[in-house]
Amino acid sequence: MTDVAKAAGVSQTTVSLILNNVAGARLSADTRQRVRQAADELGYDLVRRSVARPKVNNTIGFVADEIATDPWSAQALEAVHEQVWQNGLLVSASFTKGDADLEAAVREQMAGLPLRGLIFATILTRRVTDPGFSRRLPVVLLNCYVADNALPSVVPGELLGGYTATRHLIRAGHQRIAHIHGQSWMDASRDRLKGYRRALSEAEIPFDPELVRPGNWETRAGYEQTLALLALEDRPTAIFCANDLMAFGCYEALAENGLRVPDDMSVVGYDDREIARDLRPALTTVLLPHADMAAQATELLFDQIEPQNGRYPRLKVECPLVERSSVAPPRR
């Protein structure tokens, strides 16, 4: 194979992809022709048939619990694919939908593949039990973690994200800052609330529980909880919504009450969905960095780092602020 690569002026990986007819390999017709011509001239196929070929670990496994309910898994898979393809490898992906029988079938399927490593991802940032793949296979967790850090993992820095959003409003001059959060049992909701409280504490702004409203990540919750905040005697001048969908509902409630963003109320969201750019005014938000997380998870997989005292690192990727037009100094 090395001789074919030299004769064709390509890499050995390219030769492997072409002569093994790997589906999806993005190679030109000219390159394919040169490789096959060089293989014919050197008698490569005759040599290949005369020896037993070992399995080549040229694939990375990607297993996620969901792909259709949110764009995050698709973004992560695309980032893994690009990173892996740059290294001359391919991705084999499966989705379990949280079904125990399907998960078992996926584990069995992946165990039968000549994988170089595997990334196990979840749609919600959460603690998981060990996904159960062979310890001989390097595994990295994406957007999830195990309690004892027995596997390397990559998760978003949600606490810092909540802090960043709230600090941005404080720096704009706001003191009465409300927060509409998600379900309290979710890691993302708890950590974004912690970040909100930390920013207030750092700025010596007293925490007011009246300004913290329960949400559920849906547009309706943002709408209803904004109405509740507007009914307060001392209403807020800014609202930090724990995701962009609730910020959309917040916009609707404000408009219904004749209030303008950001003149009458500043609003910050979280996630940086497409809707954040489409709102008028465009929504300042915090980016949930699934593509960056997936790229870092892939690098961890390639590095095959060793644990320290039986524990692997849990990398937290920064959630940066995306400034747009929904924040201004308060009128009062």
pLDDT tens-digit map of 252-268: 999 999 999 999 999 99
CB–CB of 311/149 below 8 Å?
A: yes
The DSSP call for residue 306 is P
CB–CB of 229/213 below 8 Å?
A: yes
Would you call 68 helix, strand, or coil by DSSP?
A: coil
pLDDT tens-digit map of 262-291: 999 999 999 999 999 999 999 999 999 999
pLDDT of residue 48: 54
> Which residues, 6+ apart, have CB-to-CB distance to 261 below 8 Å?
251, 254, 267, 281, 326
For the chain, list the domains and their CATH numbers. 2-50 (1.10.260), 59-156+290-317 (3.40.50.2300), 158-288 (3.40.50.2300)
pLDDT tens across the length of the chain (332 residues): 778 888 988 876 677 777 766 555 567 888 888 988 988 888 876 555 544 444 457 899 999 988 877 788 888 999 999 889 888 889 999 998 878 888 888 888 888 888 889 999 999 999 998 887 776 788 999 999 998 888 999 999 999 999 999 999 999 999 999 999 999 999 999 999 999 999 999 999 999 999 999 999 999 999 999 999 999 999 999 999 999 999 999 999 999 999 999 999 999 999 999 999 999 999 999 999 999 999 999 999 888 777 777 788 889 999 999 999 999 999 86
Q: How far apart are CA 30 and CA 7, in angstroms?
A: 14
Give one DSSP letter per residue of 171-235, joined into a string: HTT-SSEEEEE--TTSHHHHHHHHHHHHHHHHTTPPP-GGGEEE--SSHHHHHHHHHHHHTSTT-
Identity of the residue numbered 144: C
pLDDT of residue 67: 81
